Every structure is written in C-alpha cells, then in structure tokens.
Amino acid sequence: MSSFPLRVFSGIKPSGDLHLGNYLGAIKRFVPLQKTHACIYCVVDLHAITVWQDPADLKRATYEVAAAYLAAGV
C-alpha cells in the first residue's frame, strides 16, 4: 500500500443554474470524501467560457456554485 494519501480533484462548471443532478451526482458525495481523502474541489469557470454567455450570468453562476459548496459543508 502506498504511503501517499488518496486524493480527489473535482469541480463543477458554472454553465447554468444548479440542479438536483449537481447535488446528487457530485456535491453530496464531496462531503464524506473529505474525511478519507485529500480533496481539492473547484469551480471550473474558465471551462464555462467555451460557449458564449453573458458575463454577468457567468459571475452569478460561479457564486452560486461556490455558495452550494459552502452550504453543503465542502
């Protein structure tokens, strides 16, 4: 067995409004992983600019993802 900690790197792209799938598929799973892994979670906002969207909408969506992380306990 390796002496290195298990690591998790994951992020959510703020390309639209958050929905139940974001919570059930990702955010809900992020919280318990923090107890057993070295975790790095991010908001991958630069990936969201691959398609045009209003900069104000992107800013709002980025803050919503960050707020969801905090609200869930990440």
Domain regions of the chain by residue span: 7-72
pLDDT at site 1: 61
- Could you give phi then psi for residue 13, rounded to 5 degrees? -85, 125
Model confidence over 20-58: pLDDT tens digits? Answer: 888 888 999 999 999 999 999 999 988 888 888 899 999
Q: How sure is the predictor about 8, in pLDDT bands with cuts at 50, 70 and 90?
A: very high
Question: Dihedral through CA 9, CA 19, CA 28, CA 2, nearest 10?
Answer: -20
pLDDT at site 18: 85
Nearby residues of 38 by Cβ (< 8 Å), 6 or more positions away: 5, 6, 7, 8
pTM > 0.85: yes or no: no
pLDDT at site 49: 86
Q: How sure is the predictor about 68, in pLDDT bands with cuts at 50, 70 and 90?
A: very high
Of 8, 22, 28, nearest to 74 by C-alpha is 28
Angle at 6 between CA 46 and CA 23, to 5 degrees: 50
